[in-house]
Amino acid sequence: MLLKLTFNSLYARLLTVGMTVFAISLSLMLYMSVEKLRTSAYTSFTDTISQTDLIVGARTSSVQLLLYSVFRIGNATNNITWESYEDVINKKEVAWSVPISLGDSHKGFRVMGTNSEFFKRYKFRGGQSIELEEGNKLDDLYDVIIGAGVAEKLNYSVGTPLIVSHGLQSFSDHDDQPFKVSGILAKTGTPVDNTVIVSLEAIEAIHVDWSTGAKIPGQITPVEEIRQMDLSPKNITAALIGVNSKLQIFQLQRWINEYPEESLSSILPGVALQELWRIVGVIENLLLGISVTVIFTTLIGMTAIIFSSLNERRREMAIWRAMGASPKVVIGLLMLEAFIISVMSIIVSTVMLFLTLYVLQPWIDNTYGILVNIEMLAVKDIYIFMLFIIAASLVSLIPAIRAYWFSINDGMTIKI
Amino acid sequence: MEKSNLNEKTIQINSVKFHWSNKSKFKLHIPELSVDKGEKVLLLGESGSGKTTLLSLICGFLTPLSGKIQLNEKLINDLSATKRDQYRSDNIGIIFQQFNLLPYANVIDNILLPLYFSKLRSANISNQRETAISICKSLRLPEDVVNMKASELSVGQQQRVAVARALIGNPSLVIADEPTSSLDTDAQTIFLDLMFSQVASSNSTLLMVSHDKSLSSNFDRVIDMKNVSVKEQ
């Protein structure tokens, strides 16, 4: 009967209660959205590269190696020689490898030289492979494959000619050797989207007339002649390595780090990603702070709403007391009300969140490269909801105790 | 006085003193007051004379600073707050001046509300809904009224529903705090007649507070607060 009457009481104040539920739902939805975005950003970030066991580069810090080899941020401190690379990949522990050569750019986008293994071995978002949206792979020396972001921002399509610039902010172009877009990759939400991919041989080819970072004056080798040359790479920037057995990772890592011929670094991508995330974790903490503030504000808001209705409900409390309800029952009624309001708010906010995500998911993915999964509530979410309900019920104790004192002091005399 | 039973007291008050901690000027001292079982008593008094405070003490909302309050020969001011609440629920039906009902509940739920808190009163009736409807009929409430929301009733109807609620489960004492003040003269007479007949059929004792002396003839006894309380400064 108490439950029925509590529902009736809430229903009788439909507009006020409805607005309260809506306000709390919005706050909860904001909290859940921030949480969802935070975890999705983290997942997208850590899923930038997966199933790669080691990244090898010249001796540097793990974060820097990760930044330039995976995120194309910053520059390599040095290259590694092809011989060193071959020594590494000839180790029996190595199952596969992908060489990467960086250094040039096209209209602000990084140019990356690699081989066909990259398309097979580079995995993201827990094992997804990169796929061609349209066009073909690198069949010709002067073919390029561009990421979805490059195609979109530069409005390129298959067949579009392009010139690679030397370095990252150089005014020197390799304009004597124009490239042509042979394929466009599907969107990945990773830095691959903003990468121009060429073959390792192409990187060698465009640097035929260059020496120590500068063009040799007056030397222009015809393209047809370059095509006949041995364009085997002499240096690379980094390499992605997969091992035969996970147990061999640390053994191989130690061997590479102690490689006597050249100073090399090898890093575990997962560990380096975590390390990097800790650096950018200030934003995560900020988002977490916003989430907690939102919840806190919501609870205060709900308490204020219950408080504001308290005075006009003193008569109602007096009736309950006259019927024999103890002050504890009066407290219980208000807490039950807070409980119902919080449960209703959770239901409404969850529905609103899923509807919003359903509408905005493609836009968030396309714009920010963050895949927000629309999935059932996680155990953590359920815990947070339970905590919210408990917190809401506890916070409602403040007006409930006030009602308790009203009900004790009012007796037969209601001071409204 | 014919209807009262002098041997059995429903209310027995001795040397009760009370004052509000925040109202230093107001002090209530009642040396002696008793109401017999089945008696219909009108408690008269001016505003501020302590009528409602006395009712709050009898109902167990308040406890006296000293003295004894006995209901049905049970000392209630020594009971714990929870037990006083239970005792009130089991033995007292209360009718307020106005706004007696939970506006969001229907009439039947309002009438049956005391039974939720009192197993004793609940045990006194076999079919709760039928009994509630029967009391409503006796109080000349329209048949369809039981399923209506309390807020949809007229003031007079609401007061009659309050009587039905106070009497359900036959409590030994009915306390009414100026229940006719919001009714016009004709409605007052009809209301009192209906209330008296129902109180009589329930064999309950009635203690009604009013400042309207013209109602005196309807009661077995009239108690004036001036005569039972001692002025203290």
Q: A326, B82: Cβ pair inside 8 Å?
A: yes
Distance CA B14, CA B70 (A): 9
Among A313, A316, A319, the strongest candidate for a mutation testing the B interface, having the largest count of B CBs within 10 A, is A319
Report the pLDDT value the prediction gives residue A154, as an integer from 0 to 100. Answer: 94
Q: A412, B56: Cβ pair inside 8 Å?
A: yes
| Nearest Cα residue to B88 out of A321, A324, A409 | A324
| Fold adopted by B5-228 | Rossmann fold (3.40.50)
Helix residue spans in B125-229 (DSSP H): 128-138, 155-167, 185-202, 225-228
Average pLDDT for chain A: 86
SS (H, E, C) A214-231: EECCCCCCCHHHHHHCCC
Q: A412, B86: Cβ pair inside 8 Å?
A: no
Q: pLDDT for B116-130, tens place per residue?
A: 989 999 998 888 989
Would you say how long chain B is, in residues?
Answer: 233
Q: A1, B89: Cβ pair inside 8 Å?
A: no
Q: B82, A8: Cβ pair inside 8 Å?
A: no
Q: Would you place residue B207 in the very low, low, confident or very high pLDDT band (cuts 50, 70, 90)?
A: very high
- Alpha-carbon distance A327 to nearest alpha carbon in chain B (angstroms): 9
Q: Chain A contacts of B85, Cβ < 8 Å?
A: 321, 324-326
Q: A412, B100: Cβ pair inside 8 Å?
A: no
Chain A within 8 Å of B99 (Cβ-Cβ)?
yes
Report the pLDDT value the prediction gives residue B230, as an integer from 0 to 100. Answer: 67
Q: pLDDT for A5-37, tens place per residue?
A: 888 888 888 888 888 888 888 888 888 888 787
Distance CA B31, CA B227 (A): 10
Q: Chain B contacts of A408, Cβ < 8 Å?
A: 61
- State percent of chain A over pLDDT 70: 96
Report the pLDDT value the prediction gives residue B4, as an integer from 0 to 100. Answer: 46
Report the pLDDT value the prediction gives residue A203, as an integer from 0 to 100. Answer: 93
Domain extent listing, chain B: 5-228
Q: Chain B contacts of A332, Cβ < 8 Å?
A: none
Average pLDDT for chain B: 85
**Amino acid letter at A36?**
K
Please, are residues B11 and B34 in contact by the beta-carbon 8 Å criterion? Answer: yes
Chain B within 8 Å of A322 (Cβ-Cβ)?
yes
Distance CA A377, CA A246 (A): 33
Q: B116, A1: Cβ pair inside 8 Å?
A: yes
Q: B52, A413: Cβ pair inside 8 Å?
A: yes
Report the pLDDT value the prediction gives residue B7, as an integer from 0 to 100. Answer: 66
Q: pLDDT for A97-110, tens place per residue?
A: 999 999 899 998 99
Report the pLDDT value the prediction gives residue A16, as an integer from 0 to 100. Answer: 82
ipTM: 0.84
> Does the pLDDT value for residue A344 go beyond 50?
yes
Residue A18 has φ and ψ, to the nearest 5°, of -60, -45
Chain B within 8 Å of A15 (Cβ-Cβ)?
no
> Does the pLDDT value for residue A411 go beyond 70?
no
- Alpha-carbon distance A410 to nearest alpha carbon in chain B (angstroms): 8
Residue A5 has its nearest CB partner, among B90, B94, B105, at B105
- Distance, CA of B47 to chain centre: 18
Helix residue spans in A47-128 (DSSP H): 62-69, 82-89, 117-121
- Alpha-carbon distance A411 to nearest alpha carbon in chain B (angstroms): 5
Residue with tokens 């995500």: A357
Q: Chain B contacts of A318, Cβ < 8 Å?
A: 96
In terms of CA atoms, which chain B residue is nearest residue A13?
A: B104
Report the range of poorest mean pLDDT among A209-223, A358-372, A389-403, B194-208: A358-372
Report the pLDDT value the prediction gives residue B23, as an integer from 0 to 100. Answer: 57
> Does the pLDDT value for residue B184 go beyond 70?
yes
Neighbour count for residue A258 (Cβ, 10 Å): 8
Report the range of poorest mean pLDDT among A25-39, A254-268, A338-352, B154-168: A25-39
Over residues A137-143, mean pLDDT: 92
Over residues B28-48, mean pLDDT: 89
> Does the pLDDT value for residue A155 go beyond 80?
yes
Report the pLDDT value the prediction gives residue A84, as an integer from 0 to 100. Answer: 95
Please, are residues A145 and A183 in contact by the beta-carbon 8 Å criterion? Answer: yes
Over residues A139-149, mean pLDDT: 94
Per the structure block, which two tokens stand in for A401? Answer: 């105790």
Among B83, B89, B110, the strongest candidate for a mutation testing the A interface, having the largest count of A CBs within 10 A, is B89
Q: Would you place residue B1 in the very low, low, confident or very high pLDDT band (cuts 50, 70, 90)?
A: very low
Please, are residues B196 and B139 in contact by the beta-carbon 8 Å criterion? Answer: no
